[in-house]
Amino acid sequence: MSLILEAKNINKYFGKNKAFHVLKDIFLEVHKSEFATIMGKSGSGKSTLLYILSTMDTDYTGEIFLNEQLITGKNQRELAHIRNKQIGFVFQFHYLLPEFSVLENVMLPAKKLGLKTSEEITEDAIHILKSLHIENLASNRASRISGGEKQRVAVARALINEPLLLMGDEPTGNLDSYNSENLFDILKSLKEEKGLSLLIVTHDEDFAKKTDRTIILEDGKIAG
């Protein structure tokens, strides 16, 4: 099966004179259409790893390939383009612009990419909102919707540029069990219906158990 993401021998240090070795010889692969999770105790390095894999942090050694293309060593402008076009990201906090409508929030990354007309982007955004069953919220202000709805809008926004890989740093961390399961179902259907690949950091064992594979981080190393 082909790989969407491959990390080879990733090492990362924090502090003066590399005082703290936070990620140690990490080798990790995510296959196309795989739904993988990363679990591990607090402080084991999950977020640090995810930020490196998503190109947001470039201060590491090792090599990362996205869709078989080496992305390590690319400049910030190239990385911003790769992030915007190929990787969707959902955080624990939604980071929606509160004064903008749901539709405007979802359209923003596509406007930034600048490859389509405003009409085309509107059409795409409405299509995604429909597929996540939140098209009724399109004209609502982002500040006036519930927490669970905000997270679904954040997923819609992450999908607008049709990424190859969707990454999440505890996207269900602030949700109750109903909304958490609902978000899981949405992510699962994106894998099954669209062939999306997913790599999600979570503390939620029930969530992780339902995915294809869980990668365990222990003290900066992959344990299983």
Ligand X SMILES: Nc1ncnc2c1ncn2[C@@H]1O[C@H](COP(=O)(O)OP(=O)(O)OP(=O)(O)O)[C@@H](O)[C@H]1O
Q: Note the residues at the interface with ligand X (CB under 6 A).
A: 14-15, 20, 22, 40, 42-48
Q: Are 207 and 183 in contact (CB under 8 A)?
A: no
Closest approach of Cβ 58 to ligand X, in Å? 14
Which DSSP state fits 174? Answer: T
Closest approach of Cβ 46 to ligand X, in Å? 4
Q: Quick one: which of 118, 124, 53, 122 has its CA closest to 89? A: 53
> CB-wise, 62 or 191, nearer to ligand X?
62
Which residue is associated with the tokens 């390590």?
72
> CB-wise, 48 or 179, nearer to ligand X?
48
Q: Which residues pair with 166 in a beta bridge?
A: 88, 198
Closest approach of Cβ 176 to ligand X, in Å? 20
Q: Distances in Å between the alpha carbon of 214 and those of 60, 132, 160, 224?
A: 23, 25, 27, 8
Tell me the one-letter amino acid at 106: V
> CB-wise, 42 or 75, nearer to ligand X?
42
Largest Cα–Cα distance of the chain, in whole Å? 54
> CB-wise, 44 or 54, nearer to ligand X?
44
> CB-wise, 101 or 173, nearer to ligand X?
173
Determine the Cα–Cα distance for residues 157 and 107; give it in Å rounded to an integer: 7
Closest approach of Cβ 223 to ligand X, in Å? 13
Phi, psi (degrees; rounded to nearest 5) at 194: -115, -5
Closest approach of Cβ 19 to ligand X, in Å? 9
